[in-house]
């Protein structure tokens, strides 16, 4: 089995300091959390920027500051979000790709997102994919529903994303695909051979689906964007605490954890 790639989704667009008092929000806090997670065993950090008021922003200047601060302190793969928050325009969302990060996310369809709609029309998916390709940014294909895999494959057929594809199954978002073991199997069995995949289980499902992925040869995403708790009713003390638990589980289950450079090799990213 491949070594395990652990992604830490540090901040997200929806979580607040009220829900998680140690949520990293400023560029300094996000960079410090990235280093802590990298030291704990994460090889990718998925990043959402926040403005001075702590609100989600897709401002390229804020992403630039975060990228530079992370690069100055650790070797982790920087993966900015192009999902942003549900109310960001596609043009706002695409901004961090212009920084030519090693990776960025590419959401592969529209779904309900709690009481909101997360909008990803075909034309915008194509635009995002084309720009990532032009700039040499490896897309992580975000899959919130089964049909989104077909949308991703359509992008591949048009040459806008290239094999080997890398998928992230985001399971358990209210309004989208639930986070059952059967759903994860369905997703995993629907992607082309030779692809890599990771799973982001929302809330308590982070632990169960992450454990399944370790056993199934997939990869794992943890962090406050997806889950703020360590166990029922007990807040996690940091993103790194959630990473460290996955490292321990992987060790117990006989799966080695990838370094950032090993993750680059597995994902076909040239530094
Ligand atoms: N915040 C969600 C609406 C991504 O980062 O690419 C979208 C999201 C996906 O988080
Ligand atoms: Zn995100």
Could you tell me what percent of the chain has a pLDDT over 70? 100
End-to-end CA distance of the chain: 24
Average pLDDT, the chain: 98
Contacts of 205 (CB under 8 A, 6+ apart): 171, 172, 179
Pick the CATH number of 6-267 from 3.40.50.300, 3.40.30.10, 3.20.20.70, 3.30.930.10: 3.20.20.70
Instruction: For this complex, say whether ipTM is above 0.90.
Output: yes
Q: How far is the CA of 225 from the centre of ligand 2 (A)?
A: 7
Q: How far is the CA of 13 from the centre of ligand 1 (A)?
A: 7
- Local structure of residue 27 (DSSP, 8 states): H
Per-residue pLDDT tens digits for 216-267:
999 999 999 999 999 999 999 999 999 999 999 999 999 999 999 999 999 9
Q: How far is the CA of 200 from the centre of ligand 2 (A)?
A: 10
Q: Are 240 and 37 in contact (CB under 8 A)?
A: yes
Q: Are 62 and 73 in contact (CB under 8 A)?
A: no
Q: How much is the pLDDT for 229?
A: 98
Phi-psi bin for 15: left (phi > 0), alpha (psi -120 to 50), beta?
Answer: beta
Nearest Cα residue to atom 4 of ligand 1: 83
Closest CA to 13 of 63, 87, 72: 87
Task: Dig out the tokens for 70 from the structure.
Answer: 């992370």
Q: Name the residue ranges covered by the structural domains of the chain.
A: 6-267
- The sheet carrying 77-80 orders its strands as 77-80, 44-47, 6-9, 219-222, 196-201, 166-171, 138-143, 103-107
Ligand 1 shell residues, CB under 6 Å: 13, 81-83, 85-86, 105, 107, 113, 118, 142
Q: What is the C-alpha to C-alpha distance for residues 114 and 117, in angstroms, rounded to an integer?
A: 8
Span 9-16, average pLDDT? 98
Q: How much is the pLDDT for 270?
A: 86
pLDDT value at 128 more than 80: yes
Span 47-72, average pLDDT? 98
């Amino acid at each position: 089995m491949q070594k395990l790639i652990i992604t830490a989704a540090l901040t997200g667009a929806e979580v607040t300091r009220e829900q998680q008092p140690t949520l990293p929000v400023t560029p300094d806090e996000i960079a410090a959390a990235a280093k802590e997670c990298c030291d704990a065993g994460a090889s990718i950090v998925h990043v959402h920027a926040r403005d001075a008021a702590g609100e989600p922003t897709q401002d390229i200047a804020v992403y630039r500051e975060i990228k530079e601060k992370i690069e100055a302190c650790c070797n982790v793969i920087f993966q900015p979000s192009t999902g942003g928050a549900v109310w960001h325009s596609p043009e706002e969302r695409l901004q961090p790709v212009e920084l030519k990060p090693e990776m960025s996310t590419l959401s592969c369809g529209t779904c309900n997102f709690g009481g909101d709609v997360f909008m990803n029309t075909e034309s915008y998916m194509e635009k995002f994919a084309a720009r990532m390709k032009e700039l040499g940014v490896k897309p992580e294909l975000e899959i919130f529903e089964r049909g989104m895999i077909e949308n991703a494959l359509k992008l591949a057929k048009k040459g806008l994303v290239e094999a080997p594809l890398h998928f992230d199954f985001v399971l358990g978002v209210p309004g989208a695909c639930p986070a059952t073991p059967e759903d994860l199997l369905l997703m995993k069995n629907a992607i082309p051979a030779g692809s890599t995949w990771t799973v982001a289980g929302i809330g308590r499902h982070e632990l169960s689906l992450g454990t399944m992925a370790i056993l199934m040869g997939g990869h794992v995403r943890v962090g406050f964007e997806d889950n703020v708790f360590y166990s029922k009713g007990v807040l996690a003390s940091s993103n790194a605490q959630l990473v460290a638990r996955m490292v321990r589980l992987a060790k117990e289950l006989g799966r080695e954890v990838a370094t950032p450079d090993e993750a680059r090799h597995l994902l076909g990213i040239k530094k």
